[in-house]
Structure 1
Amino acid sequence: MRRYKSQTGSMYDRISEQRTQEQLHAKTANTEQKRLAAATPPRCERFITNELSFVRPISFTDKTFHVFTLTDIAPSPFSLVIGRTPIGGDSDLETMTQLLLADLAKSLLHLQWVEPLCPAIVAGIDARRVEFTWRQQGQLVHQLQLIFLLYDEHSQPLLMQVTGTSNHPKGMTPEERSAFYSIVESIQLRQRFSVDDEVATNI
């Protein structure tokens, strides 16, 4: 006897198959969204200043610093400087930090380490912190510095330095230290991709 499949059963089979395909499509789309969210954002192609941006020829070396003071008359009791220095593509944070400390030891008079080099975090990326004093024309200078690596808009690695400097005769005050860390804790990277991230992905 020939058996015929009912139209009702066939309809339910098609509905079930359609739901299966929709679930598979939704799962695939969700996986792709997660992959894109985790992917490294494209680096900015424009050089960005405070009020404007422009396309910087790669042959033009950026030597800018951001300098913030409490007074218009130098020296300011406290200042904050953010510097950026181009470095070699094979440089790592530990090596660059050691070279920087060696340069400080050579160039600063009566250098004394208040806190030795130690790990830190700036905007979620690996950094190093160091604190020291030295004398300029006989006057005490107290500095707290954070060091980390980033890329510029041409994908060239940079050594970043955030330095708080106190000219208080007894060293950095609690208020100055608090102001420094309040700024550091509020730092957000325009791009979350750091030099160390790329090194990790290439291991």
Structure 2
Amino acid sequence: MSEYRMNDAAIELPAHFTDKTFHIFSVDRAGVGVFTFVVSRAPMEAGDTIDTFVKRLVSEMRKALPHFELKLQRTREVDGETAREIDYRWISDGAPLHQRQTVVMSPLAGDKPLAISFIGTCPKAFSPEWTEEYAKLVDSATLRRKDGPAFVSRPLDESTVGVVFVLHELNGTLYSLSGMTELFRHNIAEMFRDVSFYGATGAPLVMHPAPDAQKGWHAPDGREFLLWTADPRQHRSLSDRLSSVKVARGITGLSAVDDIRAYLSSVAETLPPSRGEST
């Protein structure tokens, strides 16, 4: 037996048991389930590829699900890993169900490969709203990988050079500022409410208290704050967030999403950033 750990408990699991964990999330409106999102895990067979696994999965669903109809199968990515998305319909208890399933192989796979599936379900059919919601959920997924060197966050003081980007999440406005000095001129109270920060390369930044004796952004309660580099394995880059931007303001030449996308691409080509750091 081996100890199997869950979020809130642990059990002694016999060796012949297989982990098929499910995480289920649902949206209800007026007592009716309109969208369900499930994350499941299933063991793959030795030598399986994502294609052979999905082919077998579809074959099994054809046999098990009444009136199963495969509508679409396509290639996509999940956190940089090649995945397959299948779109299908079937009848459950006399009612039609529409499902989308994106399947990716876990990067942790060793001798026992594991498939991770992201499954969205709607009664009857996916609306444009739930089509977009499902795509956003899958795009936001990050896969656990083998532990690498520990990420060490560092504070960026007022002398740090390079553009700073500030994204207001609620209204989708992205501001580009000439540097930390300009950023520090703004009221810090505005920066605690649904705001994300990015450095000159688009790498994520987070706001934390400044180290002892280091001058930072002065808050009304007397504390000092600075922006710190953030682990890109846990925070999305600005390039990955551009679809959320509705309005771009600030520096001349960075007043449109396409301008910012081109700028980030040019920076990536000419000056590859260290992980999570502003340049």
Deviations 1:121-148 (A, max 9, x none): 1110011011011111221100011011
Q: Contact 2:43–2:114 (CA<8 Å) still a contact in 1?
A: yes
After superposition, residues 68-107 of structure 1 pair within 5 angstroms as 68-71=25-28, 76-107=33-64
What SS does the aligned partner of 1:178 have?
Answer: helix
Q: Tell me, yes or no, if structure 1 residue 191 matches structure 2 residue 145.
A: yes
Q: Contact 1:58–1:154 (CA<8 Å) still a contact in 2?
A: no
What SS does the aligned partner of 2:77 have?
Answer: strand
Q: Tell me, yes or no, if structure 1 residue 136 matches structure 2 residue 92.
A: yes
Q: Which amino acid aligns with 2:86?
A: V
For 1:112, the equivalent position in structure 2 comes to 69
After superposition, residues 120-199 of structure 1 pair within 5 angstroms as 120-150=76-106, 156-167=112-123, 169=124, 171-191=125-145
Q: Contact 2:54–2:84 (CA<8 Å) still a contact in 1?
A: yes
Note closer, same or farther for the CA distance 1:71–1:86 as it changes in structure 2 (3 Å cut). same
The offset of 1:87, in angstroms, is 2.0
What SS does the aligned partner of 2:48 have?
Answer: coil
Deviations 1:149-169 (A, max 9, x none): 1156886211211110001x4
The offset of 1:60, in angstroms, is 4.5
For 2:18, the equivalent position in structure 1 comes to 61
Deviations 1:21-43 (A, max 9, x none): xxxxxxxxxxxxxxxxxxxxxxx
Note closer, same or farther for the CA distance 1:165–1:52 as it changes in structure 2 (3 Å cut). same
| Greater radius of gyration (CA) | 1
CA distance in 2, matches of 1:108, 1:153: 29
Q: Contact 1:47–1:153 (CA<8 Å) still a contact in 2?
A: no
Q: Which amino acid aligns with 1:182?
A: K
Q: 75-84 or 147-156, which moves further after superposition?
A: 147-156
CA distance in 2, matches of 1:49, 1:154: 21
Note closer, same or farther for the CA distance 1:152–1:190 as it changes in structure 2 (3 Å cut). closer
Higher strand fraction (1 or 2): 2
The offset of 1:59, in angstroms, is 5.0
User: 5+ residue gaps in structure 1?
Assistant: 1-45, 194-203
**RMSD of aligned alpha carbons:** 3.2
CA distance in 1, matches of 2:146, 2:70: 31
Q: Which amino acid aligns with 1:179?
A: E
Q: 76-85 or 147-156, which moves further after superposition?
A: 147-156
Aligned residues: 146
Identity over aligned pairs, percent? 26
Note closer, same or farther for the CA distance 1:121–1:55 as it changes in structure 2 (3 Å cut). farther
TM-score, normalising length: structure 2: 0.45
